[in-house]
Amino acid sequence: MTKLPTWADVVLVPLISLLLAAIVSAVVLLSIGQSPMEALSVMVEGSVGSAYAWGYTLYYATSFIFTGLAVTVAFHGSLFNIGGEGQAQLGGLGVALVCLALPWPHWTLALMAAMIGAAVFGAAWAAIPAWLQAKRGSHIVITTIMFNYIAAALLIYLLVNVLRPDGQMDPASARFPEGAKLPQFADIPLLQNLFAKYGPDGAVKLGKDGLAVYEQVPANVTFFIAVAACFAVWALMWRTRLGYEIRAFGKSEKAARYAGISPFKIIMVAMLISGALSGMMAINNVMGESERLLQNSAEGAGFIGIAVALMGRNHPAGVFLAAILFGILYQGGAELGLWTSIPIELRTVVQGLVILFTGALDQMVRMMLGVFFRPNRKGAA
């Protein structure tokens, strides 16, 4: 098989994969009698067509950045962490316990404590599969899947029997105190101007108190933490000894072992970082949006991390872009459910197809592209 030039491998392969996923999705839409072009325009308009739409797209993207980075770190150590969903739910539990523990005086303090809570709980949930893989050789894919289900059962139990306040019907924790409320985009000076509501006369709408009224969107300060996390993961993987060791271990366990790298340490550390990153997505959805812990709080974002990491070619920059793309898909898909007769499940189909083409059929795409990059053999014997 022809070896592709680096730029083609990094840019062209994911783009072609995405295109193939889009074509198959279009065929699915056509076969159920819907118009793919109409679907596309509704999705694009609803996800990037206005500041309001971006406020939702970036909210979803924030979660996906965290889970995508989580899968990426594990992938570099040749560990496939499917447990992001469970780790994110446990991260939510950590956030809830921290936020409910104290009457927080200011959101910055609450945020820092909640980040630690989320990371510790997420990492703890990844620790057992990691230990079992490192010590007993139990396949991490199977154990992390099992831990997703165990996490779901554990949270249902805790929400129904322990965290639910007296007299409340739905299985959810109490609402977090006012001091733990994270600023959303419409609360941040300068940025909020984008979300100002305009009256029919074109002037900014004013509330009863004479202040401007802003459209509430769920995107919040966590987005900036997610961007920082991208840089942190990049620095960790390519600028530190630990990152080098994780990548070396992922490329060849035997070579790494010969170089004096401890497999046990690498498996544990890579999975703990991965679990912590998955857990940290909870500050976006649990602390930043719902402001209480709900059942199934991660809403599949842990699984989307797999697609994001594959699409982003396991690089933080790629993960960032892929997360935005999936944010668009998610917000656009929700709009489809609202405005058209196309079910919201279309986004699950697209998500699955992207994983299929980028993660499992990547060789096929490379073979297809290889035809165009075949070296000129005229001079060769």
Partner 1 sequence: MDYATLLQMLDATLRLATPLLLACLAGLYSERAGVFDIGLEGKMLMAAMSSAAVAALTGSVWVGLLAGIGGSLLFALVHGVASITFRGNQLIAGVALNFVASGVTVLIAQDLFQQGGRTAALTGAARFAQIDLPFAESLRAVPILGPFYAEVLSGHTILVYVALLLVPLTWWVLFRTRFGLRLRAVGENPASVDTAGVSVVRLRYTAVLITGVLCGLAGAYMATGLQAGFGREMTAGRGYIALAALIFAKWRPWYCLYATLLFGFLQALALRPDVIERVVGVNVPIPALDALPYILTVVVLAGLVGKATPPRAGGEAYVKER
Return d(Cα 322, Cα 9) in angstroms, integer.
16
Length of the chain: 381
**Per CB under 8 A, does 356 bind partner 1?**
yes
Which residue, 44 or 154, is less far from partner 1 as judged by CB? 154
Among 64, 104, 147, 223, binds partner 1 (CB under 8 A): 147
Query: Which residue in this structure is represented by tokens 């074509």?
Result: 23
Q: Does 355 bind partner 1 (CB under 8 A)?
A: yes
Instruction: State the DSSP H helix or E strand holding residue 25, giving kind and residue range, or none if neither.
Output: helix 13-31
CA dihedral 219, 222, 228, 234 (to 10 degrees): -90
Q: Which of the stretches 41-49, 179-187, 313-321, 354-362 binds partner 1 when contact is defined by CB under 8 A? A: 354-362
Q: How many helices (H) and strands (E) does the chain have?
A: 16, 0
Query: Are the beta carbons of 155 and 95 closer than 8 angstroms?
Result: no
* 353 lines the binding site for partner 1 (CB under 8 A): yes
Judged by CB under 8 A, the residue of 26, 154, 212, 213 near partner 1 is 154
Convert 240-249 to b/e letters by CB count within 10 Å (16 or more is b): eeebbbbbbb
- String marking each residue 60-89 x if it binds partner 1 according to CB under 8 A: --------------------x-x-------
Q: How far is the CB of 76 from partner 1 (least distance, A)?
A: 15
Binding residues with partner 1: total (CB under 8 A):
48
Closer to partner 1 by Cβ: residue 66 or 147:
147
Give the separation between CA 99 and CA 141, rounded to whole angstroms: 32
Check residue 256 for interaction with partner 1 (CB under 8 A). Answer: no
**From 17, 63, 274, 351, residue interacting with partner 1 (rule: CB under 8 A):** 351
Residue whose CB is less far from partner 1, 98 or 309: 309
Which residue from 263, 359, 369, 370 is in contact with partner 1, where contact means CB under 8 A?
359
Please provide the DSSP assignment of 273-326 as one string: HHHHHHHHTHIIIIIIIISS-BTTTTTTHHHHHHHHHHHTTT-HHHHHHHHHHH
Could you tell me the two tokens for 145?
Answer: 């899947």
Residue 23 binds partner 1, judged by CB under 8 A: no
First to last CA, the chain: 18
**Helix/strand/coil for 82:** coil
- Binding site residues, partner 1, CB under 8 A: 28, 32-33, 80, 82, 128, 132, 136-139, 141-143, 145-147, 149-150, 153-154, 156-157, 160-161, 303, 306, 310, 342-343, 345-353, 355-356, 359-364, 367
